[in-house]
């Protein structure tokens, strides 16, 4: 069931989303060679709690950490551990926050030190795809309009969307209906109505886009070990889209 949010609910979602935005902005200065995933996770949790939020991912379906930290071939759901960031890698950080019973969700991909040109381009195209999708997230459009905008931009630049993974509704649950695929056709799918809140999140591979789950049971990696990038915003559907996870 798709839940249309009331004004007071939107404000509570906005509070959670602000903590997501603050946390992703704060962590940027710590992204450098030698820092471990575990250390980044600790900083993120401290930031979330500082703003009186709770980590939404911690314990979710058994997930063991506050954040998902995914390096290079790790697409999403990378478990924080002792792995150190290395010069030239890209790292995607995905966090969720719950406050007063409402959720916010967001992700960003960062470069570690100096990147190769193809990795710089992968990050740029993935972020551009997010905003092209958001541009279509308005009342009167359909989910397929978002999906098509993302897919067409990614593929026209020679990259691949991860078709098995998608965005989703957000609100009283971390994952609600509708699903927001990163591929599709214009004018198809669920109608977008004022008051819907959705997470739009292109996940993009430099290679084929085929994935598998690693031996830890959580981390999703590319089969061909190609690097991937991930960006996500929580967005309110209105006459024009309103990004809730922006400061």
Predicted pLDDT of residue 67? 98
Q: Alpha helices of the chain — where are they, by DSSP H? A: 7-27, 37-50, 117-135, 143-156
Q: Give the chain's residues under pLDDT 50.
A: none
pTM: 0.97
Residues composing the chain: 247
Predicted pLDDT of residue 9? 98
Q: Which helix (H) or strand (E) holds 166?
A: strand 166-169
Residue 9: strand, helix, or coil: helix
Domain range annotation of the chain? 7-243
Predicted pLDDT of residue 247? 85
The tokens of 50 are what?
A: 């500082």
User: How far, in Å, are 22, 159, 210 from residue 183 at the CA level?
Assistant: 29, 13, 14
Predicted pLDDT of residue 225? 97
Structural contact between residues 171 and 12, judged by C-beta atoms closer than 8 angstroms: no
Predicted pLDDT of residue 31? 98
Burial of 148 (0-12, 13-18, 19+ CB in 10 A): buried
- Please tell me the class of the 7-243 domain: alpha beta
């Amino acid at each position: 069931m798709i839940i249309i949010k009331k004004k007071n609910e939107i404000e509570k979602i906005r509070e959670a989303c602000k903590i997501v935005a603050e946390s992703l902005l704060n962590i940027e200065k710590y992204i450098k060679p030698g820092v471990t995933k575990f250390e980044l996770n600790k900083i993120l949790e401290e930031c979330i709690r500082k703003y009186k939020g709770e980590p939404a991912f911690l314990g979710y379906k058994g997930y063991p950490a506050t954040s998902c930290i995914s390096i290079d071939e790790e697409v999403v759901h990378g478990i924080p551990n002792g792995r150190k960031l290395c010069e030239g890698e890209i790292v995607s950080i995905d966090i969720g926050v719950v406050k007063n019973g409402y959720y916010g969700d967001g992700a960003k991909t960062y470069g570690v030190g100096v990147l190769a040109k193809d990795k710089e381009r992968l990050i740029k195209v993935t972020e551009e795809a997010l905003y092209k999708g958001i541009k279509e997230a308005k009342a009167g459009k359909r989910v397929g309009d978002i999906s098509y905008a993302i897919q067409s931009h990614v593929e026209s630049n020679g990259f691949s969307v991860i078709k098995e993974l998608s965005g989703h509704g957000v609100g009283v649950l971390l994952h609600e209906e509708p699903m927001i695929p990163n591929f599709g056709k214009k004018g198809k799918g669920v109608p977008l109505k004022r008051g819907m809140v959705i997470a739009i999140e292109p996940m993009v591979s430099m290679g084929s886009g085929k994935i598998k789950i690693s031996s830890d049971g959580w981390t999703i990696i590319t089969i061909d070990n190609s690097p991937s990038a991930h960006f996500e915003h929580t967005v309110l559907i209105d006459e024009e889209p309103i990004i809730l996870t922006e400061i």
